[in-house]
Copies of this chain bind each other. A is one copy, B any other.
């Protein structure tokens, strides 16, 4: 491919709305163009990258006995009504009517379609286990698309669904898939990706893992233990803190705290650390707007996923009205009255603690000397807190928790029988008894993976693509192609490499070296060959790596063979 003919513009200026580097570089390098909020078109370089990623995924899915199928993008609402998700999933599920008024959805995930495809096939135990997968366009009507290809509305995703007759069989297959995912991310150039325990959210099921590329720009928080290797997504991470109880419990005392409402202000006014306060966080249930009052240690934050999972329903930040009986900024566990249906919950960071401050349930008053076991004997404690830096590892028990940021590049779920039960898919077991198959599902976003690799491998000038997914393998620069020697050498090398199956992007434009190199940097092709009048005079060309790991002068006669050898070597490394 001649660079001169490559459709798409490359430019220097960082677009204003880019919060992460991969987004800016993929716009600056002519990889993609925004069509609407969270919706992109891809130019050829990105399409070549995603093709290669898709092929890696396909090979690894086939290697674990996956069968590639294809589900539709547009599905009838009736299918999602069978599983109950037509009602339960929020507005990220795009619902619409066709010309005849029939209700449809745009597929954001395909559990329903997978069960639909195999429920006649899988009627006897002999057919199990099996796994089907597709690589297909999906649409999620994200509220806040951001960060280029990291969080989009339309995406290409590999989604796989496995069906089993026992939990053991699912777990075995789940492990195989876990290993396949490790190979996929390693081959795509980010072997540093780690899997973390995650919350299963709207997918249902219990055990699930996310594969995370650790990077400060990631939108997920990950809880890591440097001691034992425990890893979990913040949403799923248990929070363990050391609960301190003073030897002597002070008396409960109402203190005037005029115009002092936030935890910060209260603690500073009372000259107490935040750990010695009991914070109230008020929510309301989405279903009926009833109140949920959650008490938690003052320095900790609520993990709303845990709260939602505990309640079994969605909540939103509570609005304290004059009628509800709550005193905004002064809510506490002692003498709490609410003039409406409500739930009161206690985080376990409070269990057994004493000498805390808390709201006085009376405007402009707080208590000090709260002793939870003495003053709120009826409280039950559960884990509702976000894990914290320096917290206790739920696995090894040491004070070794650190919090990192990461991009989720893949996920795997043990779904159980949620979908097969809801959609009444059954099989006859060995004893002729009807059973529900047990499912797993396994997703990877192709575009997000491309952006993640870019995030992990780039410099200020552009992406540094691993050869396994690079749009081309070799970038050939003919500087001063009007020079006969340069032209002859470069044309011949281009032909020879292409004939040998090497993917070459050939820049023979009459542009300055600066433009040529900055374009090459933006395209991020791993191997670069430079032919110039000067090095032709020495009978050489220059072969170098985009990642600067090598740079050598090679005699022109040996150039083709040397390039082929370098490409072959790089390819082996990513296999």
Contact = CB atoms under 8 A, between A and B. Distances in A.
B72 A35 contact: yes
Contacts of A117: 7, 33, 41, 43
Given A113-B35, A116-B41, A7 B74 contact: no
Interface in A110-153: 113, 116-118, 120-121, 127, 130, 132, 134, 136-137, 139, 141, 143, 153
A300 to B, nearest CB: 33
A51 B54 CA distance: 13
A163 to B, nearest CB: 9
A75 to B, nearest CB: 6
Contacts of A46: 70
A54 to B, nearest CB: 11
A120 B67 contact: no
Contact of A72 (B41, B51, B70, B98): B41
Nearest to A51: B68
A72 B154 contact: yes
A484 interface: no
A141 B100 CA distance: 9
Contacts of A113: 35, 41
Contacts of A97: 96
Interface string A247-260: 00000000000000
Nearest to A92: B99
Contact of A42 (B5, B69, B153): B69
Interface in A411-465: none
A7 B69 contact: yes
B116 A74 contact: no
Given A68-B47, A72-B41, A98 B9 contact: no
Contacts of A96: 94, 96-97
Q: Which of A42, A67, A75 has the most CB of B within 10 A?
A: A67
A70 B98 contact: no
Given A33-B117, A41-B70, A137-B136, A5 B130 contact: yes
A41 to B, nearest CB: 5
Interface in A1-18: 5-9
A43 to B, nearest CB: 6
Interface in A189-222: none
A53 to B, nearest CB: 13
B44 A69 contact: yes
A502 interface: no
Contacts of A74: 36, 39, 106, 139, 153-154
A73 interface: yes
Nearest to A110: B41
Given A99-B91, A136-B137, A154 B73 contact: yes
Interface in A311-348: none
B41 A7 contact: no
A352 interface: no
A47 B75 contact: no
Interface in A493-534: none
A48 interface: yes
Contacts of A230: none
**What 8 pairs between A and B have smallest CB-CB spacing?**
A96-B96, A91-B99, A42-B70, A36-B76, A44-B67, A99-B141, A39-B72, A41-B117
10 contacts: A5-B130, A7-B69, A33-B116, A35-B72, A36-B104, A39-B76, A44-B68, A44-B69, A44-B132, A94-B96
